[in-house]
Chains A and B, each alone.
Chain A
Amino acid sequence: DTAVSQTPKYLVTQMGNDKSIKCEQNLGHDTMYWYKQDSKKFLKIMFSYNNKELIINETVPNRFSPKSPDKAHLNLHINSLELGDSAVYFCASSRSTRNAEAFFGQGTRLTVV
């Protein structure tokens, strides 16, 4: 079974649309993350959730909102998509926020046209 799974794997959409990316982990981890990887492979932390509470909300536009219905899920909602949102988005989870390895999903390639 896949430890961290995110759907969809590819997402092509028009500017101005609203979209969601789903993430689920079956590892029983307490912390989940969303990262954005740009075309230069630069990985930027967007959000992290610990026990369903937002720990740190990095300086991302408020068009992006994480939603966690339970400890195993952390979905990413994006409103009013812009061209610059095109990137690969990775979900990850870890046992805790300190001294723990992170397990990554396979990524969602978002293309805004």
Chain B
Amino acid sequence: SQQGEEDPQALSIQEGENATMNCSYKTSINNLQWYRQNSGRGLVHLILIRSNEREKHSGRLRVTLDTSKKSSSLLITASRAADTASYFCATDGTGANNLFFGTGTRLTVIP
């Protein structure tokens, strides 16, 4: 299976703290993406990092990618209550034409 796995499954932090989520995958990839899903809604794309990149920033988001370890991390700095959501990583396998999603991390930011 090309499915990824996020760690931890659930994370609860205080507003203003940083949140770090990890993703591990199994196959070679073209890119890795992170998505957010608010309760009862569809997924929203956050950031894409290509296999030849090691780090990428977007606002309060920082993503790292280590292809040797087949892992990625998503850091959300200075978290806000509005960041409460589930976060998924998705990989685009080199031999596949689809996005395969991980199991998700449920983040709760307490005001």
Contact = CB atoms under 8 A, between A and B. Distances in A.
Interface of A: 4, 31, 33, 35, 40-43, 45, 48, 50, 55-56, 90, 92, 94, 97-99, 101-107
A101 B33 contact: yes
Contacts, number: 65
Contact of A48 (B35, B98, B106): B98
Contacts of B50: 99
Contacts of B35: 102
Interface residues of B, number: 26
Contacts of A43: 43, 88, 101, 104
B92 A56 contact: no
B103 interface: yes
B30 A98 contact: yes
A41 B103 contact: yes
A107 B30 contact: no
Interface of B: 30-31, 33, 35, 37, 40-45, 48, 50, 86, 88, 90, 92, 96-101, 103-104, 106
Contact of B97 (A50, A102, A104, A107): A50
8 A-B pairs with least C-beta separation: A104-B42, A101-B45, A43-B101, A97-B97, A104-B43, A55-B97, A106-B42, A45-B98
